Structure 1
Amino acid sequence: MQQAANGCTQRNGVSEEHSEHTSQQNGTDVSPESNAINGGPNGDITPKIMDKTSQDIVRLIGQHLKTIGLDRTADLLMQESGCRLDHPAAAKFRQHVMDGDWAKAEHDLMELKSLLDGSSQSLIEMKFLLLEQKYLEYLEDGRVLDALHVLRTELTPLQHETERVHELSSYMMCVGREELQLRAVWDGKGIKSRTQLMDKLQTYLPPSIMLPPRRDQFPCETIQILNDHCDEVWFCRFSPDGLKLATGSKDTTVVIWDVDPETLTCTHRKTLEGHSYGVAYIAWSPDSTHLIACGPEDCPELWIWNIESDDLRVKMSQSAEDSLTSCSWHRDGKKFVTGGIRGQFYQCDLEGNVLDSWEGVRVNCLWCRSDGKTVLAADTHHRVRSYNFDDLTDSNILQEDHPVMAFSVNATDRLALLNVATQGVHLWDLQDRCLVRKFQGVTQGHFTIHSCFGGVNQDFVASGSEDNKVYVWHVKRELPIATLTGHTRTVNCVHWNPVFHQMLASVSDDCTIRIWGPKKHRSSSSKSSETGFGETPSSSTNGNAWHDMCS
């Protein structure tokens, strides 16, 4: 007999309480003498001696067995191999987090201190995440005094992320759980938000202590190739609800695709025509009902489409001398900003009326921040600056040494991902105004390449490249964890589905759109169609991608 990985005493997968009456393996009666696996006549299991690579593989197999419900098989595998999925202290920590037992989770955290990457700072950051969830759950439950106690006596003394603490304090004014969840961009008390919290906490733990979650859900294979465009495809963007994909092309069209969450594939819904300069940028409204399409640098027009009715709401053009090449929606979906490199920078309503303008700002890319007031703009001086149309103030946020061709901001409004000419993909912290990381591998010249955050908790980064590949990194690692091949010309843009995290889209000068998903979806999507399922074999060329993620 041996202690099983889940804490139960088992012999060949049968619990101790049943062992007096029956001793079975795979449902077949066996004699006591034969009831042993790699062990002695008493059924004791002798663990194998394996190198680290073999242990990692066994742990991954065990994790997958648990995922599909074969818990006893996974436990047996761990016993025979001498491996364990998670460190006992980490497993206990996970359970207490998922149960919402915050006092025990904090106690567990102290036990894990010696195992953390980065030690004391990591401990503070993990404790902050725990207390943030605890605070939000108290607010949702109406326990305002308890929430205030957490804020004043637990969060504030950490002296960590002061601006975030101020933001959390403002949630005290929320009227009801719906407003709280909306303002906090939080899924509410329950399994979903606690799972997301646990995913964040796991990034601080070495994979030898706790395996990262859901490897089998990673988009690493082409599961669909879409060929509806007849020229270079310049841009792609999933809708905020994850159920639609828009692609823009040099062929002057935007194609709207419906997303099937089960198969992670797309079907043609509508082709929006008449963009005479081509479509180089697309922005969805927050409610996924409207879409703005912009052209390349010499385009003085933009188009606002109502996607529910497939009608053109307005075609906006102030002057033939304008350049309207980028846009971004404010969070309320009632206003947007647009601009270009000829010095136009407008704030407009849904009818295309210019409400405000900022003179002389030559814009490469725009992003509306979550406060509903501030707009970030990458300009021709290699900067990203902040503009507030309400009080007409502006300030410098960051400075690069080369042109910022495009950028995006993550859901927390804290990190910015920049595609920098001749340099590649850079990660900046907007609050601390510092360069965090330069991602390696991508080929970036002077063409506009669009990258994105994605995956669960937006822990990953993906970018197109001029070497015809898609590169994927973990936000905390400079080297790519996967390199996706299949396109035959420059990959101009990639976008991760914000809801169905197993789905990634990429578009290229080879006139195709590729939909990437987990390997298991490739076989389930084997049906051929006129849009071209699986026409060209393609996959991650990084054979050690999963090993890299856990080592």
Structure 2
Amino acid sequence: MVDLEPLGKIANVNSGPRTSDVPARILLTETNKKTAATGASAEDQPPRKKARKCLSVEEEAAFGSGTGRASGSGSAASSSGAAVDVVSADDHDENAASARAQHLKETSLQQTKADGKRAAQGAEEGDGPASTSAGPRQPEDANKNDSTMQQPGSNSAGNHSSEANGHAIDEERDSQNGATSNGFSEMTTPSRVHLDKTNQDIVRLVGQYLKSVGLDRSASLLMEESGCSLEHPAATKFREHVLSGNWTKADHDLRELDPLLDSKHANIPEMKFLLLEQKYLEFLEDGRPLDALHVLRNELTPLQHNINRVHQLSSYMMCSNNQDLYQRANWGGKGIVSRSQLMERLQTYLPPSVMLAPRRLRTLLTQAVELQTERCQWHDMAWETSLDNISLLTDHCCSVDGFPMQALQVLNDHCDEVWYCKFSPDGLKLATGSKDTTVIIWDVDPVKSVVKFRRTLEGHTYGVSFVDWSPDSKHLLVGGPEECPEIYLWNIEDEKMVVKMSHAMEDSLTCGVFNKDGTRFVTGGVRGQFYLCDLSGSILESWEGVRINGLAFRSDNKTVLAADTHHRIRAYIFDNPRVDYKVVQEQHPIMTFSINSADRLALLNIATQGLHLWDIENKCLVRRFQGVSQGNFTIYSCFGGVHESFIASGSEDNKVYIWHIKREEPLAKLTGHKKTVNCVSWNPVYPSMLASASDDGTIRIWGPKSHQLNHTSESDECSSCSSTSSWNMTS
């Protein structure tokens, strides 16, 4: 007896959807009858391979081929119908069944060959490949149909269910691989990475900054993915309660935070005091004096902390209105602003492991910018460097283009050694003094960084060893060398001498300086003269026995600094009573000195030692500058640059030296002079100009190299000297 159950399966698949209400009569075994009666699913039936073991491989191929054509071919449909008749007849004869199965096999093979021929003919005629509904299925289609065969008694919904499940499995697999239904790939959330402590700190800093600029969702995602916490949960609650003004809960949070504080940050009494202070002030502002008094008596006072502040707070009870309270308490009033300020003060007592300090990333970046500007050799900008006006994407580096290191002019108008040079406070004039007894006034062209001859001041019998401009740039004080007993006062605007002052022929007036308002001046020398005079030359005060070789007025307009022959600088006040005290003490003679405009630093040229920088407020030596050659000649140095961040000095080796005020080694050495450089002067208004005076009888005007390329000589005496002058970087 042949088991016809497999043929029933094939017939059911091959026949496609039924159009008749008459069900097929299928011969069932006793076991299958029971299975059909209980509505068992296809999964409960024996495996398909066992059910079809009576068919050979060729037979399976034949039936599979017929199955593939069932839905589209008329002949295939008739074959399918024959199969149904075979399995539906009441014929239990084994031989008859075998014969009919063989007939079905042959019919299917013939139909497969016929379909193949039709497909080949259609391709030759240019009709393209046969339709998938009429042509033979590919082997994988047959296998697919085999895999979806149903057991007898199941309906076509099972096929749809299997297809739907297959799509669901494919979609699940695609989603695991990062694929989506629209064809784009989308990465799934990666697993959490392990971060060391440094990277955790960086993540927390970035998260805090993101929240500070309003990117709360980005900050939350960053914390979630990194596994870090921006702050301790107790600290978060504490912040919320402080900003909302819930002082009772904030106090409770403070007790919860106490175990988290280390000994370095722990100051619970101060934190509680600050909370109660804000609470007290808000009660006063709200017009609740009784509640404020309760806080003062029963909460603040029992703390026994900052008693003086408690007394001050109690006085605010007498404020007549809120404006009076704001002013006396220096408080902004109730609200998010004052509470945020309070929170920032409280954060200083919390360790960073609990809560980061406010704006911590911005603070670190600001410190980095400040450090870079300090390390920048040429930094001396006219604006303040901050995060708002520089790029964080590159290191800070100032350009050297505007620095005065190229000789733009060589002035040969003096006929002997030039001992002194100085720009006027307004930056528009230059005065040079020479051994030839003359002073020459030059007009400054700040655009081209050059000067033009204006006029010569004559009649200085002993030569000119120093000059000093009045603060308004209208008057000029002129003095001579050690043997000179005279001092000259010129009005530069009128080009007239105002007074030639001489107290006694044995005097030595070798230095002098105007006071800060230009109404008086002091003068003196190494023979013991020290006079305070008005602009008419009258001596107002004198200080006997002081042998000086350098003078400077301080910003208070009454204290005079004087370098004397005892290797020191002392302060003198011409008041009643008179006061004098020591400011600087050196081990070697102080040849000259100058004070910066901030009235804080003093630059000293020391015999055989070179250049020293002193802090005259703290009375300490700050720096010894290297490179300069200083013997026993009188050499003058100066501060310069936009913020006086640079220093320049002459030298006995015929060079001009330039340093940054924070570095001992020189930035540049300017060469070109043939003899000792006696004096240098940096233009106080146009810092791209520097002047130097030398024993070779010339004055050199130094400016930016870019100006030298565009500069055209206006005379043989005032010429560009790129061939004989150069600058050498030494850093």
TM over 0.5: yes
Q: How far apart are the structure 1 equivalents of 2:504 and 2:454? A: 33
Contact 1:466 1:490 in 2 (8 A): yes
Number of the residue aligned with 2:479: 294
Aligned pair partner of 1:507 in 693, 707, 721: 693
Q: Does 1:235 align with 2:420?
A: yes
- 1:388 maps to 2:564: no
**CA distance in structure 1 between the partners assigned to 2:682 and 2:424 by the alignment:** 10
> What amino acid does structure 2 have at the position aligned with 1:473?
W
Superposed CA deviations along residues 453-478 of structure 1, whole A, max 9, x for unmatched, are 00110000000000000000000000
Secondary structure, in 3 states, of the residue corresponding to 1:522? Answer: helix
Please say if residues 672 and 726 of structure 2, whose CA atoms lie closer than 8 Å, have aligned partners that are also in contact.
no
Do residues 371 (structure 1) and 559 (structure 2) align? no
Q: Name the SS of the counterpart of 1:498 in structure 2.
A: coil
The structure having more radius of gyration, on CA atoms, is: 2
Once the two structures are superposed, the pairs formed by residues 348-359 of structure 1 within 5 Å of their partners are 348-359=533-544
Letter in 2 for 1:427: L
Q: Could you report, residue by residue, the CA deviation over 1:421-474 in whole angstroms, capped at 9, with x for unpaired residues?
A: 000110000011000000000000000000000011000000000000000000
Give the structure with the higher percent helix.
2
Q: Quick one: which amino acid aligns to residue 599 of structure 2?
A: D
Residue number in structure 2 paired with 1:398: 584
Paired with 2:546 and 2:722, the residues of 1 have a C-alpha distance of: 44
- The match for 1:340 is 525
Maintained 8 Å contact 2:512/2:551: yes
**Aligned equivalent of 2:494:** 309
CA 145–290 in structure 1, closer or farther in 2 if over 3 Å, else same: farther
Partner SS for 1:366: strand
**Matched residue SS, 2:430:** strand
Within a 5 Å distance, the mapping from 1:113-512 to structure 2 comes to: 196=382, 198=384, 210-391=395-576, 392-512=578-698
| Cα distance in 2 for residues equivalent to 1:536 and 1:446 | 31
After TM superposition, give the deviation of residue 530 of structure 1 in Å: 3.4
Distance in 2 between residues matched to 1:352 and 1:309, nearest whole Å: 18
Tell whether the 8 Å contact from 2:407 to 2:726 is kept in structure 1 after alignment: no
Query: For the Cα contact (< 8 Å) 2:405–2:727, is it kept in 1?
Result: no
Secondary structure at the residue paired with 1:252? coil
CA separation of 1:208 and 1:410: change in aligned 2, threshold 3 A = farther
Equivalent position of 2:704 in the other structure? 518
Once residues 316 and 145 of structure 1 are traced to their aligned partners in structure 2, the CA distance between those partners, rounded to angstroms, is: 57
Provide the secondary structure at the position in 1 that maps to 2:709. Answer: helix
Amino acid at match of 1:445: G
Equivalent pair of 2:477/2:490 in contact (CA under 8 Å): yes
Separation in 1, partners of 2:721, 2:590: 35
Aligned to 2:716: 530
- What is the rounded CA distance, in whole Å, between the counterparts of 2:557 and 2:441 in structure 1? 27
Give the superposition deviation at 1:210.
4.3
8 Å CA contact 1:220–1:539 kept in 2: the answer is no
State the one-letter code of the partner of 1:456. Answer: V
Q: Which amino acid aligns with 1:284?
A: W
In structure 2, relative to structure 1, the CA distance for the partners of 1:402 and 1:283 (3 Å cut) is same
Q: Given that residues 441 and 455 in structure 2 are in contact (C-alpha distance below 8 angstroms), is that contact kept between their aligned partners in structure 1?
A: yes
Question: 1:397/1:520 Cα in 2 relative to 1: closer, same or farther (>3 Å)?
Answer: same
Q: Partners of 1:443 and 1:514 in 2: how far apart?
A: 19
Match of 1:8 in 2: none
Structure 1 vs Structure 2 CA RMSD: 2.7
* Cα offset, 1:390, TM superposition: 1.8
In the alignment, residue 366 of structure 1 is paired with which amino acid?
L
Deviations 1:74-130 (A, max 9, x none): xxxxxxxxxxxxxxx9xx9xxxxxxxxxxxxxxxxxxxxxxxxxxxxxxxxxxxxxx
Contact 1:486 1:538 in 2 (8 A): yes
CA distance in 1, matches of 2:570, 2:541: 17
1:536 and 1:214, CA in 2 relative to 1: closer, same or farther beyond 3 A?
Answer: closer
Please give the per-residue CA displacement for 1:349-407, whole angstroms capped at 9, x wherever unaligned: 00110000001000010000111010000000000000011241000001001100000
- State the shift of 1:528 in Å: 4.2
Using the alignment, how far apart are the partners of 2:395 and 2:581 within structure 1? Answer: 42
Of all paired residues, the percent bearing the same amino acid is: 58
Aligned partners of 1:482 and 1:540 also within 8 Å: no
In the alignment, the residues of structure 2 paired with residue 225 and residue 492 of structure 1 have an alpha-carbon distance, to the nearest angstrom, of: 15
Structure 1 contact 221–538 (Cα < 8 Å) conserved = no
* 1:508, distance to aligned residue in structure 2 (A): 0.2
Where in structure 1 do 4 or more consecutive aligned residues deviate above 3 Å?
Answer: 194-197, 207-210, 538-541
Instruction: Verify the 8 A CA contact 1:338 1:345 in the aligned structure 2.
Output: yes
Aligned-partner Cα distance in 2 for 1:539–1:488: 11
Counterpart of 1:505 in 2: which secondary structure? Answer: strand
Q: Which has the higher contact order (CA 8 A, sep 6+)?
A: 1
SS of equivalent to 2:659: strand
- In structure 2, the residue corresponding to 1:529 is in which secondary structure? coil
What displacement does 1:524 show? 1.6
Structure 1 range deviating more: 353-362 or 523-532: 523-532
Residues 467 and 477 in structure 2, CA contact (< 8 A), matched pair in contact too: yes
Q: SS where residue 401 of structure 2 aligns?
A: helix
Which letter maps to 1:274? Answer: G
| d(CA) in 2 for partners of 1:541, 1:228 | 24
Letter in 2 for 1:222: A
CA distance 1:344–1:212, change in 2 (3 Å): farther
The whole-number CA distance in structure 1 between the counterparts of 2:692 and 2:452 is: 16
Amino acid at match of 2:617: Q
3-state DSSP of counterpart to 1:458: coil
How far apart, CA to CA, are the structure 2 residues paired with 1:208 and 1:382?
A: 50
For the 8 Å contact 1:484–1:538, the answer to whether it is kept is no
Distance 1:501 1:538 in 2: 23
SS at match of 2:384: helix
Q: Counterparts of 1:393 and 1:352 in 2: how far apart (Å)?
A: 24
Q: Give per-residue Cα distances to partners, 1:287-309, cap 9 Å, x unaligned.
A: 00000000001100010000001
Tell me the TM-score normalised to structure 1 length.
0.62
Q: How many residues align?
A: 358
Q: Structure 1, residues 253-275: CA drift from partner, whole Å, max 9, x if none?
A: 00000000111111110100000
Using the size of structure 2 for normalisation, the TM-score is 0.47
Q: Which has the higher strand share?
A: 1
Contact 1:486 1:537 in 2 (8 A): no
Q: Give the Å deviation of 1:531.
A: 2.4
